[in-house]
Chains A and B, each alone.
Chain A
Amino acid sequence: MKSLYKLSTLLFLFVSVTSCSDDDSPGDNLTGEGRVIIEFDNSVAGDDLILGSSYTNSQAETLTINRLNYIVSNFRLTDTQGNVFTYPKEYGYFITSEETGNTEVVLMNIPAGRYTAMTFGIGVDQEKYLLGAEGQGDLLTEAESTDMMWSWQAGYKFLNFEGTFTSSTVPENTYFQIHMGSHGSSLDNYKETTLSLGTEALVSDEMTPIIHLVVNAGNILDGDNKISLAEQAVIMVSEEKSPKIAENTANMFSVDHVHNGDGSSH
């Protein structure tokens, strides 16, 4: 019995020693500046988006997606104290493309900190557009090469979503083209979205978090607003439909997870 008592004392000591070994707060001294990597992982309603594959939506339309390009811009990061860091506007526009596999945005020179939320725009805001062609920098040439521009007068395509579809009323494979943007300066379709990260993204001169976003392209036509391709398969300049598509598109982003580390792996 004595030995039992001794043993339980030992066990107790053991547990108390080990149970308090590692709960110091991580990243206590985040200093300097670092990068933030944002991965835009394109999908359709829970399935990975694979160009050329077919997906049927809630409107019983089956889409074969061949292109998904969109512009994201004006990133702002909010830290645990509520401070907002705004990414410099002159570097703040990025074109992502499923075709080229360019689906990662790297933000440079972010002040060290613990960030809990992110806001960004989908498209190009009027302020930028109204700087005129000379004020666009590399964005203009990049947009031209990725088919993200109608013409300078008509403006940028914020979203270029193309493929073929069938439905009960359209049995033949039919092309669809969804090009959404502001119409010059007459209709502003630039929208912003704010995402809570659900955790903290730790930035310092040694730490580069990867924010892994899930982008549900199914939402473009099949979001809060239902857009039927059978009704209209080519939607570009449309004062009625393009604002609805802009709204759906702004709601297609969510945070899957954040990976803290040196940025080398996801």
Chain B
Amino acid sequence: MKTYIITALLIIMGIYVMQASEMPARPCYRTISSSLMEFDDFCDVCGCSGNGGSMGFGTGLNNNFIGLRYIGQRYRSRDGIFSNSPWIDENFNTIQLWTQIPVGRRLIINAVMPYQFHSREFADDTKQHINGLGDATVLGFYQILKQTPDSIISIKPQHTLQLGGGVKMPTGRFEEENLEGSVNPSFQLGTGSWDYVLGANYGVTHRNWGLSAMVNYTIKTKNDKEYRFGNQFNYALNVYKTYYLGTNFALTPQAGIGGEHFEKNKEFGFEVHDTGGNALFSRLGVEVNYRQYALGLSSMLPVAQDLNNGKVEVKSRFSVYLNINI
């Protein structure tokens, strides 16, 4: 499946790269997707926390938008502590309602409300499903450097820098019962805790090219079941190029890398065995803009990983979103 997705993406990107080499001499009157920054989304994904997936990109920096995004994550984890213990496939699915609203001249508010439906199948063919709201996140970013709004493509590189933070609220259920054996402890709808996020986004665009970098750190706290997911550090770097195809159309292929680092989880103050770790992903994506709509596709594949002492493996992540500028 993932091979198909990637192939399709590459073909689409290839076609448009060819077409776009005959770019109109006059750029469109408006840069719809002026720069693709990454925002948010740390960890809500995997239920959150343990292996919270960050999925990358947001849309237009200076846009207010509201959108829906689907994120699918495939994991496998060992059911047991031995080297021949069976692998269990885990599917984490998230649908997010997300929005970005500028407040005043320099503040951006980013909010995400996820709905999760996860499933896994044990070696004895029994299936487990959990679904419900995930953890809602509200972030505020202060724009230290911002692009000139609505400018036509500038000759000079345009820099943006945003610093901010926010809170992830325990709107997703955390069930102690889901801590089944030594299987992935992140099979949860939420961390069950108030978690705090610090983040920074940097972007530079020059002509049609753009580069974005982000780092964020999530401080997780103890939930009422005395479980505390490990703090999480995410980083990502993306390059993209926007092709203007007529007055209303723009297409932006993107490629990048992203990484995640997890500290160990704690339960009753004691470190939980086989937790923590890190993963590095490659990422390919594309965003299509038509008038006020943005449709994005993104796929992430692990390049290197060591999660939960090798007991958990992330196989792939895929996301698709549709945003409307408001």
Contacts and interface: CB of A to CB of B under 8 A. Distances in A.
B260 to A, nearest CB: 20
Interface stretch (B5-13, B88-96, B234-242, B262-270): B262-270
Contacts of A262: 176
B249 interface: no
B28 to A, nearest CB: 33
B3 interface: no
Contacts of B144: 4, 7
Interface stretch (B150-158, B207-215, B219-227): B219-227
B253 interface: no
B16 interface: no
Given A4-B144, A18-B196, A25 B269 contact: yes
Interface stretch (B62-70, B78-86, B315-323): B78-86
Given A47-B83, A264-B176, A11 B221 contact: no
Contacts of A46: 82-83
Q: How large is the interface on A (under 10, 10 to 19, 20 to 34, 35 or more residues)?
A: 20 to 34
Interface stretch (A104-112, A237-245, A253-261): A253-261
A246 B165 CA distance: 60
Contact of A26 (B82, B106, B269): B269
Contacts of A11: 163, 165, 198
B267 A43 contact: no
A212 B198 contact: no
A32 interface: no
B85 A260 contact: no
B271 A261 contact: no
Interface of B: 80-85, 106, 142, 144, 163, 165, 176-182, 194, 196, 198, 219, 221-222, 225-226, 228, 267-274
24 contacts: A7-B142, A14-B196, A18-B196, A19-B219, A22-B228, A26-B226, A27-B268, A41-B82, A43-B82, A46-B83, A199-B270, A200-B270, A202-B268, A212-B81, A256-B81, A257-B272, A259-B179, A260-B268, A261-B176, A261-B225, A261-B267, A264-B177, A266-B180, A266-B181
B199 to A, nearest CB: 11
B82 A265 contact: no
Given A7-B163, A48-B82, A26 B268 contact: yes
Nearest to A214: B81
Contacts of A200: 270
Contacts of A15: 198
A265 B180 contact: yes
A155 to B, nearest CB: 33
A82 to B, nearest CB: 19
A21 interface: yes
* Most interface-central of B81, B180, B228 (chain A CB within 10 A): B81
Contact of A47 (B82, B194, B226): B82
Interface of A: 3-4, 7, 11, 14-15, 18-19, 21-22, 25-27, 41, 43, 46-48, 50, 199-200, 202, 212, 214, 256-262, 264-266
B177 A265 contact: yes
Contacts of A3: 106, 142
A50 B222 CA distance: 38
A48 B271 contact: no
A43 B81 CA distance: 10
A123 to B, nearest CB: 26
A26 B225 CA distance: 11
A48 B84 CA distance: 6
B155 to A, nearest CB: 27
Nearest to B228: A22
Given A11-B163, A18-B221, A256-B81, 6 more contacts: A21-B221, A22-B222, A202-B268, A261-B176, A265-B177, A266-B180
Q: 5 closest Cβ contacts across the A-B interface? A: A257-B273, A26-B269, A26-B268, A48-B82, A22-B222
A224 B70 CA distance: 56
Nearest to A43: B82
Given A14-B198, A199-B271, A48 B85 contact: yes
Contacts of A264: 176-177
Nearest to A201: B270
A225 B118 CA distance: 49
A263 B133 CA distance: 27
A259 B219 contact: no
Nearest to B183: A266
A70 B177 CA distance: 30
B143 to A, nearest CB: 10
B182 A266 contact: yes
Contacts of B274: 257
B207 to A, nearest CB: 29
Contacts of B165: 11, 14
A13 to B, nearest CB: 11
Nearest to A17: B196
Nearest to B163: A7
A11 B179 CA distance: 34
B221 A22 contact: yes
A214 B166 CA distance: 43
Contacts of A212: 81
